[in-house]
Amino acid sequence: MLGFLLQRVMQAAAVIVVMSILVFIGVYAIGNPIDVMIDPGADQALREALIKRYGFDQPLIVQYGYFAKAILTGDFGESFIYRLPVLSLIWSRFPATLELALSAMMIATLVGIPLGIWAGYRPDSIGAKAIMAFSTLGFSVPTFWIGLLLIMVFAVELGLFPSGGRGEVGSILGIPTSLATLDGLSHLLLPAINLSLFKMGLLIRLTRAGMQEAMGSDYVRFARAQGLPERQVVGLHVLKNISIPIVTVFGLEFGATLAFAVVTETIFNWPGMGKLIIDSITTLDRPVMVAYLILVVMLFVLINLAVDLIYGQLDPRIRNRGAS
């Protein structure tokens, strides 16, 4: 197990180094942030002073050295626009995005996996066909359109839920969250449902395909021959064997939900990281852009590392093959 862990950690470190170089080159090759930071009518002396202050007069390799040091120390500098430390700015928006992503993935998992199991267990039933039609809608209908429809029906016409915002924020374990208050939950429900539909459709289809393949396998026939109840055959044997692709999709989709919930946060005016990165791209706020992208890279690397370790626990063959 230790060899498997060391191999995955080394791979994760290599990915972070390569992606840091790509992020640095991509961001620092676009536009001129000095034009955003100062008035166009400012004199040349002020312009040159700012260029020197932020190190834009240095060669790119030197700037990358400063950049790599900032990653290692966690000091990404100050936002050009907000005049605040970048990490504190991003982390101030992170709890809102985290609770939205967790809520969306919880809804997708609690609804999608049972529906996928039923659709795979009874593939020819009317219910299974209706479930697959629903999953197709989750894939096909654009997120922004579903969000607007949810607002129009449940907020405008029926008045059951608020149309936007985060609502009243409470505290759980010292972390500010909307989950701690009824008002916050009412504001969270619609954007969480909107964000969960694509993931739900994906989990339904993935679980259904795994169920159909597993139900015809030898170990299922052997378990039935032993006289095990059908609930135990499906819940213990089948679900365990189809869990690896489900864990993969869950991990990747959770990372993608955290990093790219931009459309949902914009439609529902949710004060998360999505709106922050859009504003930073618009204004060429490079420190925020770079810090956000690096944090996203680290997030995906850590999630993939966690998924690999879970693989090793679910299937020892993967752990032993990786260690060798």
DSSP letters for 280-312: HHHTT-HHHHHHHHHHHHHHHHHHHHHHHHHHH
Model confidence over 207-233: pLDDT tens digits?
A: 888 888 877 777 777 777 777 777 777
CA angle 266, 249, 74 (to 5 degrees): 60
pLDDT surpassing 80 at residue 313:
no
Task: State the pLDDT at residue 14.
Answer: 84
pLDDT more than 70, % of the chain:
90
- Looking at the structure, tell me whether residues 256 and 298 fall in a common domain: no
Among the listed residues 252, 271, 262, 270, the one whose alpha carbon sits nearest the alpha carbon of residue 310: 252
pLDDT surpassing 60 at residue 58:
yes
Provide the number of structural domains found in the chain.
Answer: 2
pLDDT surpassing 60 at residue 54:
yes
**Element containing residue 177 per DSSP (H, E):** strand 175-177
Task: State the pLDDT at residue 4.
Answer: 64
Task: State the pLDDT at residue 111.
Answer: 92
- Looking at the structure, tell me whether residues 269 and 175 fall in a common domain: yes
pLDDT surpassing 60 at residue 323:
no
pTM for this predicted structure: 0.76
Among the listed residues 199, 25, 7, 236, the one whose alpha carbon sits nearest the alpha carbon of residue 116: 199
Task: State the pLDDT at residue 30.
Answer: 60
- Looking at the structure, tell me whether residues 206 and 264 fall in a common domain: yes
Mean per-residue pLDDT of the chain: 80
Q: Domain of 210? A: 86-282
- Looking at the structure, tell me whether residues 266 and 186 fall in a common domain: yes
Task: State the pLDDT at residue 71.
Answer: 78
- Looking at the structure, tell me whether residues 234 and 169 fall in a common domain: yes
Q: What is the mean pLDDT of the segment spanning 79-98?
A: 84
- Looking at the structure, tell me whether residues 128 and 247 fall in a common domain: yes
- Looking at the structure, tell me whether residues 297 and 271 fall in a common domain: no
The residue among 46 and 144 whose pLDDT is bigger is 144
Task: State the pLDDT at residue 154.
Answer: 92
- Looking at the structure, tell me whether residues 202 and 264 fall in a common domain: yes
- Looking at the structure, tell me whether residues 58 and 125 fall in a common domain: no
pLDDT surpassing 70 at residue 1:
no
Q: Which two tokens stand for residue 283?
A: 């204004």
- Looking at the structure, tell me whether residues 240 and 321 fall in a common domain: no
Q: 233 with 178: CB under 8 angstroms?
A: no
pLDDT surpassing 90 at residue 303:
no
Which contacts (CB < 8 Å, 24+ apart) does range 77-84 have? Answer: 77/287, 78/287, 79/280, 79/285, 79/287, 79/288, 80/33, 80/36, 80/37, 80/283, 80/284, 80/285, 80/286, 80/287, 80/288, 81/36, 81/279, 81/280, 81/283, 81/285, 81/288, 82/285, 82/288
The residue among 198 and 51 whose pLDDT is bigger is 198
- Looking at the structure, tell me whether residues 61 and 207 fall in a common domain: no
Confidence of residue 267 (pLDDT cuts 50, 70, 90): confident
Q: Which two tokens stand for residue 113?
A: 């996996």
The residue among 39 and 207 whose pLDDT is bigger is 207
Highest mean pLDDT out of 19-28, 71-80, 91-100: 91-100
Confidence of residue 107 (pLDDT cuts 50, 70, 90): very high
Strands (E), 113-172: 170-172
Q: Give the CATH number, domain containing residue 174.
A: 1.10.3720.10
- Looking at the structure, tell me whether residues 173 and 246 fall in a common domain: yes
pLDDT surpassing 90 at residue 193:
yes
